Amino acid sequence: MMTTTSDTSPRIALVTGATGGIGRATALRLARDGMAVAVHYAGRKAVAEELVEEITAAGGRAVAVGGDIADEAAMTELFDEVERTFGGIDVVVNTAGIMLLSPIAELDLDALDRMHRTNIRGTFVVSQQAARRLRRGGALINFSTSVTRTSFPAYGAYVASKAAVEALTPVLARELRGRDITVNTVAPGPTATPLFLDGKDEQTVAQLAKAAPLERLGQPEDIAEAVAFLAGPARWINGQTLFANGGLA
Within 8 A by CB and 6+ apart from 170, the residues are 183, 239, 240
CB 185 within 8 A of CB 146: no
Q: 71, 126, 58, 101: which is closest to 200 by C-alpha?
A: 101
Residue type, 184: N
Q: Is 57 left (phi over 0), alpha (psi -120 to 50) or beta?
A: alpha
158 catalytic? Reply is yes
| Cα–Cα distance, 163 to 148 (Å, whole number) | 6
The active-site residue, picked from 86, 158, 196, 243, is: 158
CB 39 within 8 A of CB 64: yes
Return the active site residues: 158
